[in-house]
Amino acid sequence: MDAETVEAYNGNTVEIAPQHPLESGGARVEVTDEDGTKWELDLDRDGSYEVVASWDETGTLADVAVPEYVEDLLSRMG
């Protein structure tokens, strides 16, 4: 599972890196924005996701809201 770098509709460059499959049939993915903000998400087959962890732009574990563009990017993953 290779990381994919894409441009979000807001112009930011975002890396989506699949980590491992989940027993439920989905996958854990890591999403990193160009500003360093990062989210680890459990992605279900139906496209819904749950935030496992998030980090702010300094790399500190923090409760960072997932931007709206993430759902769009996840839906484009192949």
* Separation of alpha carbons 74 and 72, rounded Å: 6
Residues 8-67: tens digit of each pLDDT: 988 989 999 999 999 988 999 999 999 999 999 999 988 889 999 999 999 999 999 999
Q: Which residue in 31, 29, 27 sits closest to 65, CA to CA?
A: 31
Termini Cα distance of the chain? 11
pLDDT of residue 66: 95
Residues 9-19: tens digit of each pLDDT: 889 899 999 99
